[in-house]
Amino acid sequence: MKSNNYLELYAVTDRHWLGKQTLFDQVKEALDGGATCIQLREKQLDEENFLKEAIEIQKLCKEYHVPFIVNDNVEIAKTMHADGIHVGQSDMEALDVRKALGNDVILGVSAQTVEQAKKAEAHGADYLGVGAVFPTGSKDDADDVSHKTLKAICEAVSIPVIAIGGITQDNVKELAGSGIVGIAVISAIFAQKDITQATKDLKQATEQMLNDCSL
């Protein structure tokens, strides 16, 4: 996965807004709308159902040629041969994750400071998720990261950085010039009535922001 294109619009699942749909249905709608990466984030599901769901959704992602990332759970990622895993600062150390899963698995790490970012890169991270860049209700454990800090992190590391936290179609343009290669969102996709259209609109806005970055 040498290109960073898969990080442009990184969709993180949340079953909070499922209603009568399944998570599989919602992920398919996001993929139809152009999501470039899917992260399965499960905080309550037991291991057996998590694994079953992960295998089904990764199969779907393969049909769209989109990487499938497991959040936090190294054993699930290893068992099902996930494309990647994302870990936070309070989870397993990136160095240990890399040793457990090998070099072929995409490794993402959350960071809120330049120091954390540099450490994650040194320990084998392939990309960083930095945030929350805007106030958010989706991740109650996310600290605020100023745009100044976001830019400083992008400048301090050579691996790609994506922004996360409270990003919407309306405010994504404010991230132009920060150095990020993409965004990660939860509610901006999965809380919307028309997930496919919301994803299309957000992707278009993100591409415009990234084009503004390169001017």
111/92: higher pLDDT = 111
Amino acid letter, residue 82:
A
- The question of whether 52 is a catalytic residue gets the answer no
Rounded (10°) angle between helices 47-63 and 23-32 = 20
pLDDT of residue 1: 45
Given 110, 138, 178, 187, the catalytic residue = 110
Amino acid letter, residue 206:
T
Tell if the pTM clears 0.85, that is, is over it. yes
Non-local CB neighbours of 11 within 8 Å, separated by 6+ positions: 27, 30, 35, 37, 38, 39, 184, 185, 186, 189, 190, 199
Non-local CB neighbours of 186 within 8 Å, separated by 6+ positions: 11, 12, 13, 14, 41, 138, 139
Q: What is the length of the chain?
A: 215
Given 28, 41, 187, 203, the catalytic residue = 41
pLDDT in tens, 121-170: 999 999 999 999 998 765 555 568 999 999 999 999 999 999 999 999 99
- The question of whether 178 is a catalytic residue gets the answer no
Non-local CB neighbours of 183 within 8 Å, separated by 6+ positions: 8, 9, 10, 162, 163, 164, 167, 172, 175, 206
Given 139, 178, 187, 203, the catalytic residue = 139
CA nearest neighbour of 156 among 186, 100, 115: 115
- The question of whether 78 is a catalytic residue gets the answer no
Are 46 and 211 a contacting pair, CB within 8 Å?
no
Q: What percent of the chain has pLDDT over 90?
A: 85
